[in-house]
Structures are given as C-alpha cells and as structure tokens.
Amino acid sequence: MKMKIIMLGAPGAGKGTQAIMIAEKYGIPHVSTGDIFRANIKNNTPLGQEAKTYMDKGMLVPDELTVKILLDRVAKDDCKNGYVLDGFPRTIVQADVLKDALSKLGDRIDHAINVDVPDENIIKRMGGRRACLKCGATYHIEHVPPKKEGICDNCGEALVLRDDDKPETVQKRLSVYHEQTQPLIDYYGKEGILKNVDGTQDMNRVFEDICGILG
C-alpha cells in the first residue's frame, strides 16, 4: 500500500515528532525539506548549487526549485512505497506547484494530516521548553523536567528558554502560519484528503489516531 503523506499543523504542534513516528512504523522515509536542502548543498549537487546561490544572498529558494529538489528526493528507491513530507508545502502556491509536478508523473498525495492545536496551548507548550546550550539536551518544565530545576541532567549547565520559544516570538511565528499555511487546510479539504487529529492529547494518543486514519 502506497502512502504519500503531508503533515500540517502550527509550529510547536508536534507534527515533526509524529512524522518521524509514522516513518518508523510504516517503513517509509521522513522527508524534511530542511534536511534535503542541507544534503544537496553538502554534496554539491547541481540543485544544491542552484539553491545555495539564493540562500547566500539571504533570499528564499523559489518554489519551483524547492519542488525540483523534493521530487529528486522522492524519486529515490527508498520512497517507492511512499514518504512523509514535513515542512512542505507551506503555501497554496507551493501546494499547486507540487500537485502539478506530481500529476505529470501520474502521482498524487494520498493523505494530508493536520495536527490541530489551539494557539494558547502552543504558546504554553513552547514557553515551557528549556534547552542546554552546551550539550543540546532539551527539556520541558511540565512534561520532561530535569532532575534539578534549571540544570541539565547530562552536563550540569544552566538551562535556558531559547529566543525561538519566547511567547512573543511564538506569537509572531503563529501569525505567519495563520496567514500563509493555514489556508492549506482548506486546500486539502477540497482535495478530499484532509484528516484532522486532536494534537492536544498525549503524543502516543495522537499517534494512535493517525494510525487509525492510515490503517
């Protein structure tokens, strides 16, 4: 059974974690656009060189090139039974470019799964994160607290609230998401492939709900 899946959801909704769990359970690759950009640039591929010319100037990589890099990745043998897309598409324009490119190959996305979490939950969830800048360990003051408050279990360094996780930064990221990415929920709803899951539940319960959808 082929499974080409797009993960949707606000930043901090937990879609990346779910994408990794889906990939492991169903034996399909977790395809993160950030990872494939980095791999192409590191390996100095023609597509990577082209993307780097934009990134070096601080510009966004055009949608057509992003989709080219993505299609190059999903054409590899390990994707023959499907894949989980994480971080793409982010806009309606990207969704259209992807749809056209796949349809030319006689292919299409099978499922779009939206991990639905209200903004206030996300702000609280991300505001509770703490990170160790020395060893990279991450914690959550409620869900994964360190043994000693404010101190990393691994290396004893002080834990910090990253700028990315501060409420005002999270609010800005959510505003961008609502403006650019949330319209994709309607888009894939019209395509008839959208399924919503309640992302406020325990992580394993969310995963059970997703597996119920995928079968």
Query: Which residues are marked as active site?
Result: 15, 90, 129, 162, 173
| 68: Cα separation from own chain's centroid | 18
- Quote the tokens at residue 28: 């399909």
Asked if 89 and 184 touch (Cβ cutoff 8 Å), the reply is yes
Q: What is the DSSP string of 75-121?
A: TSGGGTTEEEEES---SHHHHHHHHHHHHHTT----EEEEEE--HHH
Q: Could you tell me how far CA 1 lies from the centroid of its own chain? A: 23
Token duo for residue 63 = 């949608």
Structure tokens that stand for 53 in this block: 């010319």
